[in-house]
Amino acid sequence: MLAGALLPLAWMLFYGGAWPAATLALPPTHWHAHEMFLGFGGAVLGGFLLTASKNWVSIRGFHGPVLMALALAWLVERLALAFGALAPPPLVILANLVFWPALVALILWTLIRHRATDSYPDNVYFILALPLFLPAKALMLMPEAAPLGWSMAIALFRLVFLVMLERTLAQFMKNALQVTIPRWPALDHAIKMLALILVFAAWMPKPVAALLALGLALLVLLRTGIWSPHRALRRLDIGIMILGKLGLAGQLLVESYAALAQPNWLGAVPAHAFTFGAIGLIVPAMLVRIAKGHTGRTVTFEPADKLVLWLMIAAFVIRVPMPVLLPDLYRHWLHLAALAWTLGFGLLAWRYLPFLVAPRVDGKEH
């Protein structure tokens, strides 16, 4: 939550010149991409998978000193990249060799060691995908190869979100709306397999990558269409998950178009269609559920929670379509989108950090 609130704000300070970019270990735009995907995204991914994986295999899970050390490694990496130009390069490299390898190792240890009791056979996709975050990170740290790393990171997070939504959205709709959505295993596996293959899209011929992205987008849209989206959209807390799926599919369509047509005006639209349209819409709704459910509270979306979701929807509209429609106001859209995003995650942090640092209200240990 804090990373979601502070990292976009830091980017605006760098972008506007209020904070000298000379302190950064990477070129400014490369730092921004790395920190939003592997800084903020890493915190989200780590929190979700470390929490969920223990439930999938029915064990206690990592806690206490292990998680505190992991959080410290994450913070050290953030500082090393923000002020790396002022530190010896070997120290910066060392700071970047702890958090992600440790996170991947912890999750793989849980999923592989307890594979026999895993309630989700398709966790094999996590087992295959998680190690690929390490070469993606290495590429993102090399200025000349960074675009390859960005492509891998987007595709890896896309796969994670597709697997997560396949499980959670069906459950949410059944519990909240009494809707049993149809499940087509062949469709589900085709979506996950295509998403995994697209991790390597940057090394494919552009027409092949475009065709695969288009195919995945159409499959995601097909599955969304048969999952009663009209019912989900009646409730903001569930409807925003549908909007996130549509944002994910939209990003694939834009990516496919960009690979074929290569229009100059698109710029960073494909990347921000995913970060704002998928991550920005889905993650806050999940954080509310996790923060309440895992602290023993009833999962309900209060007015302040709904305000967060509306802020994130506004951030998406401001950051993705508006700069394309009115490019002369680009800097204004950029600042407004960052403000909406920061307010959304800042409100989440203000509301839920006290829950997360206190004992569960139901007296349970975990």
At 291-315, the pLDDT tens digits run 998 888 888 999 999 999 999 999 9
Task: Label residue 366 by pLDDT band (50, 70, 90).
Answer: low
Q: Give percent of the chain with pLDDT exceeding 90.
A: 68
- Cβ atoms 186, 219 nearer than 8 A: no
The pair of three-digit structure tokens given for residue 122, joined into one six-digit string: 């398709």
Of the candidates 215, 206, 282, the residue with the CA atom closest to the CA atom of residue 252: 215
Cβ atoms of 195 and 128 closer than 8 Å? no
Diameter over CA atoms, the chain: 58
Residue 342, SS3?
helix
On whether the CB atoms of residues 249 and 161 are closer than 8 A, the answer is no
- Long-range contacts from 45-53, C-beta under 8 angstroms, 24+ separation: 45/103, 45/157, 45/160, 46/70, 46/74, 46/103, 46/107, 47/290, 48/164, 48/286, 48/290, 49/107, 49/126, 50/103, 50/106, 50/107, 51/290, 51/294, 53/107, 53/110, 53/111, 53/123, 53/126
Q: Provide, rounded to the nearest whole percent, the portion of the chain with pLDDT above 70.
A: 99
Contact residues for 305 (Cβ-Cβ < 8 A; gap 6+): 237, 288, 351
Nearest by Cα to 280 from 301, 322, 251: 251
Confidence of residue 365 (pLDDT cuts 50, 70, 90): low
What's residue 62's pLDDT? 82
Distance CA 365, CA 296 (A): 10
Question: Which amino acid, 323?
Answer: P
Alpha-carbon dihedral 289, 244, 2, 319, rounded to 10 degrees: -150
Q: Highest mean pLDDT range out of 108-122, 178-192, 197-211, 247-261?
A: 197-211
CA distance linking residue 94 with residue 310, whole number of Å = 40
Helix ranges restricted to H, 275-361: 280-293, 303-319, 321-325, 330-356
In the predicted structure, residue 22 carries a pLDDT above the cut 90: no
Q: What is the mean pLDDT of residues 84-105?
A: 94
Among residues 41, 298, 268, 306, which one has the least CA distance to residue 176?
A: 298
**How much is the pLDDT for 361?**
81
- List the domain boundaries for the chain: 1-119
Kindly report, residue by residue over 213-261, the tens digit of the pLDDT: 999 999 999 999 998 888 889 999 999 999 999 999 999 999 999 888 8
Residue owning tokens 């190690």: 131
Token pair 């060691």 is at which residue? 113
For range 132-150, the mean pLDDT? 96
Asked if residue 318 lies in contact with residue 340, where contact means CB atoms within 8 angstroms, the answer is yes
Q: Which pLDDT score is estimated for 16? A: 79
159: nearest Cα among 56, 312, 41: 41
User: Which residues are within 8 A (CB) of 126 and not within 5 positions of it... i.e. 6 or more apart?
Assistant: 49, 53, 107, 111, 160, 163
Say which residue the tokens 């912890």 belong to. 106
